[in-house]
Amino acid sequence: MEKKLRFSGVLLHPTSLPSDSGIGDFGYACEQFIDLLHDAGVGLWQILPLSPVGFGDSPYASLSAFAGEELFISLERLLDRGILTEQDLESTPGFRDDTVELEKVRAYKMPLLKEAARRFLSDTTSADYADYCHFLDKNVYWLEDYALFKALGAYFDDLRWYHAWPKDLAVRDPLAIEEYRENLKDDIEVEKVLQYFFHDQWKQVREYAHQRNIAIVGDIPIFVAHESADAWCHGEFLKLNEDGTKQMVAGVPPDAFSETGQLWGNPVYDWDALKADDYSWWVERIKHQLTVSDMVRIDHFRGFEAAWEVASDQETAEHGQWVEAPGEEFFTFLENLLAPLPFIAEDLGIITDEVNRLRKNHRLPGMKILQFAFNFTMEGQFDADHFYLPHTYEELCAAYTGTHDNNTTRGWYESLDGGYKDIVRKYLSCDDSSVVWYAVRSIMASSARYAIIPFQDVLEIGSEGRMNAPGTVGGINWKFRIHSDQMGRGVSEHLKNMVAPFGRTAGLNELEASSNR
């Protein structure tokens, strides 16, 4: 009988890693974390989108579906390459080591990064410059436009291209584009070099992971932000007005969690236009993502079957409608180009039979969240057949204690009232002090092919470790960081003891040979 593949993974965004520059980056702490996973027998490292953050510092409101966040670039790696000097880094301000102070980090790092880019451009005879030219050729689809977009945003001190830029630029008049491309050519070159630094350093991190049989699980938000290079450059694939303003926006209708629904504000896709162009933008996006990660979690998968569209002048999501998307045709098209599809479908929330059928037709693992089994249970009652309980999981799924949008397991449990806590303890056969251990154990022991836990649950920390609280801006969101001593041998052994008893030792090699890669 063929042995079933069983993977374990850890979810931690690189911003959460320790560094001297106030934010986790692609420096040597990445290698330390990868070594920890390898020593524990873990084969997957799941991250959030690496794209440039937008509104609310969220990686899910990115300025580009292709570019990388420049703050991920490691100053120490630039120092090792001789592009920066020890003197450049002498005046590092004091940063908190338990949280990301993004504006303070940006004020410190960006001048250094741009100076490094200018120094790099001053020597066109180096082997690195030849590699840079190769990078330009490989990324011609998006790089030139993104660099111009960033240069224009700095020039006008506003990235809201549809509102703050001259009309001829907003509608991408060729003469206006050429004029500004010439006037801002030096700034554009700097932006392109920063993207080269980003992708070159991440390539090194990913190769290091591959050497240790660890695969990277990336993330694609289904929608793009209005304030993005994608919306400016490829507005023909979105439901926008001629001046670039939004016609329709995405969200979800009223439900048990919100009487007025959720209005996300992202422009929605014009799937007819995408289809007429053979889905070229999506194909390029996914091909590019697969140069960054080995698997991809697709956020809001149900949007490929139908999306809740609301007129842009509405203040709530109450008055919208479900608009069908060509999901079956789209994923069949992708399979013909990229099969097998290395995706995890984020199918959380209220999911229809049509969405389930789309996922199963293309053999995509869905997601199971342990916390949800108890969140949806009435106090004093227990549904032993609830599909989020680990003993019910099908093999083709990715199981989590929680995700970046949930509280940590410790924080979640401590927020429950007595009746709910009693249900949790009975199901997990644990006491208050061991609830995190047994929660992790339950998904590791399940039939799920992939069992992935946030690193905060490895550390068994409380609500202070939460990464994001959906529907809020600021506060704790996207700021969580760990200390270097939280990546020591003791932590590795603790994680190994969570993983080893359940044979979850598969990694990159097994993933590449499996039907999902």
Closest CA to 476 of 219, 104, 101: 101
Distance CA 53, CA 64 (A): 9
> Do you find a cis peptide bond into 340, omega within 30 degrees of 0?
yes
DSSP letters of 152-163? HHHHTT---HHH
Distance CA 387, CA 154 (A): 49
Q: Are 318 and 254 in contact (CB under 8 A)?
A: yes
Closest CA to 213 of 448, 458, 513, 444: 513
What is the residue whose two structure tokens read 């840079």? 132
- 268 burial via Cβ count (<10 Å: 0-12, 13-18, 19+): buried
| CB contact set of 508 (below 8 Å; sequence gap of 6+) | 43, 209, 210, 213, 214, 215, 294
Closest CA to 403 of 450, 357, 341: 450
Query: Which spans in 41-160 are helix H?
Result: 75-80, 102-121, 127-138, 143-155
Based on its alpha-carbon atoms, the radius of gyration of the chain, rounded to whole angstroms, reads 23
Number of H helices and E strands in the chain, helices first, is 21, 12
Distance CA 260, CA 480 (A): 30
Encoding tokens for residue 2?
């063929």
Edge to edge, what strands does the sheet with 343-345 contain? 343-345, 295-298, 215-220, 44-46, 7-11, 450-454, 397-400, 366-369
Give the residues across from 23 on adjacent strands: none
What is the residue whose two structure tokens read 């990115």? 62
Edge to edge, what strands does the sheet with 248-252 contain? 262-267, 248-252, 306-311, 320-324
Give the residues across from 240 on adjacent strands: 246
Residue 281's Cβ-side half-sphere holds a number of Cα atoms within 13 Å equal to 23
| CB contact set of 298 (below 8 Å; sequence gap of 6+) | 220, 222, 304, 343, 344, 345, 346
Residues serving a catalytic function are 299, 346, 405
Give the residues across from 390 on adjacent strands: none
